[in-house]
Amino acid sequence: MSTEYRQPRYAPPPGAADLFLIRHGESAPARPGIDFPMKDGHGDPALHPAGEAQAVAVGERLKREAFAALYVTKLIRTQQTAAPLARHLGLELRENPDLHEVHLGDWDGGLYRIKAAAQDPVYMQVVAEQDWAAIPGAESREAFFGRVRRGLMDIARAHADESVAVFVHGGVIGAALAMATGSEPFAFLGAANGSISRLVIKDERMVVRGFNEVQHLDHL
């Protein structure tokens, strides 16, 4: 019988870390004149009831994965989204200091959503330039991307040959995948709440293995 060479199934290369990037569930709505609770200058809304249901669905989808660790940010919406999976797996949540959402300066606390809905001229400048720096006091794209990369690399170095779940924000996922692919900076913004993306990191190389998986949310 002749030798056969079947098509291989993908596996991360030796020494790589396999990061599942989960966007937090939907958070509380913004309301004119009422700021979100704040933490270190960042809006810190809790999950909306729809976001709580998304968190449960994420936990069900991922509870059979062999994660070595679960990471969250300092903002409560990531911690609440991770909680169902943490209960399934019996793992403690670890906070990464670099992966919180982009700081929106004077527009943090919910105003960014309102300005975006109104197509405010400064918001349109942000979109055109693909940089938040036009917002008074906001973090620049360069600074944000730099700390996101640092946070991801720190996790990857700590988890060679392991899979981890990292509960983060839409901006963080957008930055991570833009850096990994060399795309336009805002090309991957808009990942759905409760969605799962996947990034394999070895040394300084990042490879995208999935973006915006949402099948586990179809019943919601």
**Centroid of chain to Cα 212:** 10
| Residue 99 main-chain phi, psi, to 5 deg | -105, 15
| Residue 130 main-chain phi, psi, to 5 deg | 55, 50
Show the low-confidence residues of the chain (pLDDT under 50). Answer: none
What is residue 129's predicted lDDT score, i.e. its pLDDT?
98
- CATH tag, 26-63+77-163+176-197: 3.40.50.1240
Annotate 122-152 with DSSP letters as a single string. HHHHHHHHT-GGGSTTPPPHHHHHHHHHHHH
- pTM of the predicted protein model: 0.96
The full set of domain ranges for the chain reads 26-63+77-163+176-197
pLDDT tens across 98-116, in order? 999 999 999 999 999 999 9
What is residue 28's predicted lDDT score, i.e. its pLDDT?
97
Amino acid at 219: H
Longest dimension (CA), the chain: 76
